Structure 1
């Protein structure tokens, strides 16, 4: 069994959960599949299911962040595969994200970029040929 089997959930933090929910809903073109407020537990978190594997993107009110977590901008860069890094980067910048790292060729079949969303989280973009290989193998296509 592989120890790290793949990304399952990415959690982001926001001081303004409602604004972050609107921003990500508009960016992703979907509404959250879960809201703690909708379950009667008050505002605290929302979850989206996105991408080929329906990975979970969660946004949590920063007041629930683990103690000692950096409360300023940035942190770990989680890269999401996109087919067009430059186009995805432009879309994020148009929506108010701040450029962190421009489009960079990392080697044949690997291109990255990253931004800081309006809520201080780093969002990475990557064209990754291995991702497409795995996706193709899982769906019987090459």
Structure 2
């Protein structure tokens, strides 16, 4: 049984640039660098309400073509979709799909950007995420 997302892996040709870009986006430093911080082949961040793991892998180890938008889209919940979309663009991401309402008055809204390394980042307002978070707090 699938129990939840454990780690999301993105790929980059320039690991140092990718690490710096994601440190700026997330507002934290990578806590894990392999084999070391000076020449990383893999870096990892833990962030958010559930300490999600985001790994950046050197594209030499990719199982698919890297550098063009492709692959599964992971949606990260954000509280202010417009502001986060603007911030991603300011950081150098390119809008792949602007804000779209999903369903009729459901509260689910999405947008997609491509990071400077070719990875698709989905962001969304997700009422279900907020419901689960509130249940866990109770």
- Asked if the contact 2:92–2:116 (Cα under 8 Å) also holds between the matched residues in 1, the reply is yes
Aligned residue in 2 for 1:71: 66
Match of 1:117 among 99, 104, 115: 115
Match of 1:18 among 16, 23, 44: 16
CA RMSD of aligned residues (A): 1.4
Matched, 1:101 2:97: yes
SS at match of 1:21: helix
Matched, 1:34 2:29: no
In 2: Cα distance, 1:39 partner to 1:98 partner: 28
Aligned residue in 2 for 1:89: 85
In 2: Cα distance, 1:72 partner to 1:26 partner: 20
In 1: Cα distance, 2:37 partner to 2:17 partner: 19
Structure 1 runs not aligned, ≥5 long: none
In 1: Cα distance, 2:122 partner to 2:134 partner: 22
In 1: Cα distance, 2:3 partner to 2:124 partner: 19
* TM-score normalized by the length of structure 1: 0.90
Aligned length: 135
SS at match of 1:131: helix
SS at match of 1:101: strand
Aligned residue in 2 for 1:55: 52
Distance apart, 1:39 and its partner CA: 7.5
